[in-house]
Amino acid sequence: MAGVLDALVSYVQNMLTGMARDEVQMLLGVSGEIQKLDIKLKDLKNFLLDADKRSITDQSVQAWVLELREAMYDATNILDICQIQAMERGPSHDAGCFNPLLFCMRNPIHAHKIGSRIKNLNQRLEDIKKRSLDFNFINLNSYEDHSRRVASSRPGSRETSGELDESSLVGENIEEDTRNLVEMLTTAALPKCENNKILVFAIVGVGGIGKTTLAKKIFNHDIIQQEFAKKIWLSVNQDFSEIELLRRAVIEAGGEHQSNGNTRGALERALKEVLNRQKILLVMDDVWNHRAWEDVLQTPLITAALAPGSCVLVTTRHDTVARGMMATMPYHHVNKLDPEDAWLLLKKKVVGNGNDEAQIELLKDIGMEIITKCDCLPLAVKVIGGLLRQKTARRREWENVLNDSIWSVSQMPEELNYAIYLSYEDLSPSLKPCFLHYSLLPKSRVFFTDEIIGMWISEGFVYGTSCDLEKIGKEYYDELYRGTLLSLI
């Protein structure tokens, strides 16, 4: 829903931006209406991401979002009417760019109608904005923008590092996985005919399943410390900067970077120099696109004449990324926690704050139900453990957490699979409404790809020029399929 609204708002704003506002306001006879409309659109746009997340379980927020959507459709209708009137007029004889809205305003009859509709729309948006205060929406975009700015202004600023928190480790599975991967990293060798390559190994799994924790345990293992002269930990994520990634690699390898003005070529040379003839282990955490390796780091590492046995270990949510990096098969897929291990992790997070382990053990039956709702995903268990830590060790408190529909970070209905929701959250705003629409199609009928794309276009989920809509819709479909959210038969 946020993706649709965001596109609608952007469309209206772009039309308003292209107008000669002073002339339009004069023709409307109402000073400031265009500015008011633009300002309200910008203000409401800030709330869309938060409203989208909360509308999943809150019906009152759903109603607010639907009303805003209807208002946006009315705004586009106003502009469409102007477009039709302009087309009926015929080709413009004016030099330069022809603005259909401005043409409508120059017609007294149209100007009165359009002016009245814009004033009414402004009043509707004002009422919608006032009601938004009841929900205490926050501007999630500002947090994301801030995080993005910080990430681009500081090398390696993402949350993860190679430091390991031992308190998050539970069970024998992670110990066995660590032993197996350490052995692979320290014994694998390239054939002589491929000495111009570097071995890549991949840890694959859904978000929150423990890929980074496993990589950290490997990174800090005693055998790894002995085997590799240099160890480099790089957090990549979705919005990586090529220059910052190279600069961070130089720093982590023990090299020097002189200033933010370093060119890519200078950073590549610095990286090659500091790694020359060294046996290295490079960990690339949270990789979303194989380009981070193929287009940025692969060439300087291969040309650095690394010592035999040098390796790259990548963590990613997608097999396609591992394939793009030509990782050694088979990839290591991380499994969910065993229920007993998940319970042990939950206890670790809850014990403290006046709660002792004996008290917590009495609540194991409720705790195991909570773990089931967490789908035995380590991240979900840790988050809920942090929530329970703030409460007293009483059955009623834990039952309230278990039965609350917004108990988890996902804030999704109980019947939705947590792993699928994590994948849904990864989608861009433009893809979310397409996926939700697809999920509502009857499962008893087979739909062809073209049919689905046509429905998305008719619903207004695909934006672009008329000649590009089907192509863009096909790109949306392909991306959902690659993310395993759609299946073919």
What are 164-190's pLDDT values in tens digits?
777 677 878 889 999 999 999 998 776
- What confidence score (pLDDT) does residue 439 get? 76
Tell me the percentage of the chain whose pLDDT exceeds 70.
Answer: 66
User: Is domain 166-333 given the CATH code 3.90.1300.10 in the classification?
Assistant: no
Residue 199's SS3 state is strand
Q: Is the pLDDT of residue 2 over 60?
A: no
Q: Is the pLDDT of residue 98 over 60?
A: no
- What confidence score (pLDDT) does residue 101 get? 53
Enter the tokens of residue 35.
């500015």
Residues 145-171: tens digit of each pLDDT: 444 443 444 433 344 677 777 767 787
Query: Which segment, 132-136, 265-269, 433-437, is predicted with the most confidence on average?
Result: 265-269
Q: What is the mean pLDDT of residues 374-399?
A: 81
Residue 314's SS3 state is strand
Rounded Cα distance between 464 and 448, Å, is 22
Residue 65's SS3 state is helix
Residues 22-48: tens digit of each pLDDT: 445 554 554 566 677 777 777 777 777
Q: Is the pTM of this model over 0.75?
A: no
Domain with CATH 3.40.50.300 in the chain: 166-333
- What confidence score (pLDDT) does residue 148 get? 41
Enter the tokens of residue 93.
């004889």
Name the least confident of 45-59, 237-251, 303-317, 405-419. 405-419
Confidence of residue 315 (pLDDT cuts 50, 70, 90): very high
Tell me whether residue 148 is exposed, middle or buried, using C-beta atoms within 10 angstroms of its C-beta: 0 to 12, 13 to 18, 19 or more: middle
* Best CA proximity match to 377, nearest among 325, 341, 426, 413: 341
Provide the terminal-to-terminal Cα distance of the chain, rounded to the nearest Å. 28
DSSP characters over 441-453: S-TTS---HHHHH
- What confidence score (pLDDT) does residue 107 get? 60
- What confidence score (pLDDT) does residue 264 get? 86
